Chains A and B, each alone.
Chain A
Amino acid sequence: MTTATQPKIQLVDPTGADPGPSPMMLSDRPLDLRGKRLGLLDNSKANSDLILRAISNILNDEFEFAEVFYIKKHSASLPPKPEVMAELHRHADVVVTGIGD
């Protein structure tokens, strides 16, 4: 008995379209933190402020920041709103962020 050759089944890849390399670039890193303005970005989880302020105190002992600027995101899992980013740009040279809970 002979069998006809079955045509191949074509499967459509259901995974997302990739836009290619990111247009975002990292800022230049400061060579020295001494006297810089430190930003603290709270991700809005409970106790995020505690850990960030503790880190800030440890860093401040070593680097004596000109200013420590604290601000909070509106949601832990969404990017900061543009006005929050603008405030960070205005008040901070470097930023520490992290999660609490």
Chain B
Amino acid sequence: MAYSHRARLYEVDETMEAIEDCFRYGWTDGLPVVPPTLDRVEAMLDYVSLDPEQVLGEVPVRRRALTAEHAAANAVMAGCLPEYFPVVLATMDAMFQHDPNCIHEASAATNSPGILILVNGPIRNEIELNCTGNLFSPGHRANATIGRAIRLILINVFEQRPNVLDRGCMGSLTKFGVCIGEDEERSPWEPFHVSRGFNARQSTVTVATVQDPEMLGNRYGITAESVMDATADAMSTHGLGIYLNDAPWFWVVGHWHAEMLGAQGWDRRRIQEYVFEKAWRTRAQMKRLGAVNGVVETGDENTRISAAPSPESILILKGGGDSGIYSELMMNYHGLPAITVPIRDSWDEFRAESR
């Protein structure tokens, strides 16, 4: 497709007027944005040495392309610093590599999934990304603005505006952005990206469409089995989880749960197998709850429907604080099934391939 690659420029007299103009043009997520001034956008592009007209990917069903300049403008508006920009670009990279149409799919879905960005590797510390206490809360610039930048790209570049192409029914707080880091330093297991074959020194993002997270509050169990049973129980009752059972799950294992599991000798693989075996309901139960279509038939009472499609689809990582004894559970929804890609140090190879 032929695109007019350079963005239009608008002139305004002063900053407050620019902020109001961004609302007027429909460029925001409902909160004020940093005006995407030419100098700020150029600083973002300079940081990654990308030309403004470089096409990063296209979404065929939307007939829209993302250029580096558009990505930078939205990252500026979200409040990103230039050093966060590689994480924003890697997140879009994951979507384009999986299936560019997933960007439309994720927004068209009526059950309102958000985009989870899980960051691993050295960049977490370089950009001061929060990996511990208040992991899913406001308060950390990198976490808050990287996630927001992705939502602004979806809204502005791909026109996934609420109640237009974004068909979310109840909506989700995750649509403000969910960017978290793994607490690799205090984990009993190897870093998540290493479990997927990456070198520990390679920074990565894992990107997934997720339903609203659910907090797991097993505070008084003293065995690993008790913690895993609680997780399996939550998976088996989690919204539409079992009905969909073809997508991964994220278990963000909180500090004390991770310590107990690690101290009692449970590695990722054994945890996955244990929880998979325990997380199910009968088809009859699901039909009575209206989560599966049809009337209860002979055999339904004895037919198990697993919450996860396989043990390895229960993705386990360490995160959150040590102020309490909690974990967090997220169901991966259709669209983007937990794709892990490297955060590029250089875009030279990408440029050469896309010529």
Task: Give me the interface of A with B, judged by CB distance under 8 Å.
Answer: 6, 8-20, 22-23, 46-47, 75-79
Contact = CB atoms under 8 A, between A and B. Distances in A.
A15 B293 contact: no
B73 interface: yes
B278 interface: no
A47 B290 CA distance: 13
A27 B152 CA distance: 36
A35 to B, nearest CB: 34
Contact of B65 (A6, A14, A19): A19
B64 to A, nearest CB: 4
Contact of B64 (A10, A17, A46, A47): A17
15 contacts: A9-B12, A11-B11, A11-B38, A14-B77, A14-B156, A15-B27, A16-B158, A17-B5, A17-B67, A18-B4, A18-B64, A19-B3, A19-B64, A78-B104, A79-B60
A79 B36 CA distance: 34
Interface string B45-69: 0000000000000001111111101
Contact of B159 (A12, A13, A16): A16
B2 interface: yes
B121 interface: no
Contacts of B64: 16-19
Given A8-B13, A10-B10, A75 B70 contact: no
B31 interface: no
Contacts of A19: 1-3, 63-65
Chain B interface size range: 35 or more
Given A11-B9, A16-B64, A16-B157, 7 more contacts: A9-B14, A12-B76, A16-B62, A16-B159, A17-B65, A18-B3, A78-B101
A46 B294 CA distance: 10
A26 to B, nearest CB: 16
B105 interface: yes
Contacts of A46: 293
Contacts of A15: 27, 70, 156-157, 159
A47 B1 CA distance: 37
Given A13-B7, A20-B2, A78 B105 contact: yes
Contact of A13 (B9, B61, B63): B9
Contacts of B60: 79
Residue of A11, A18, A20, A23 contacting most chain B CB atoms (<10 Å): A11
B194 interface: no
Contacts of B2: 19-20
Contact of A17 (B3, B18, B22, B35): B3
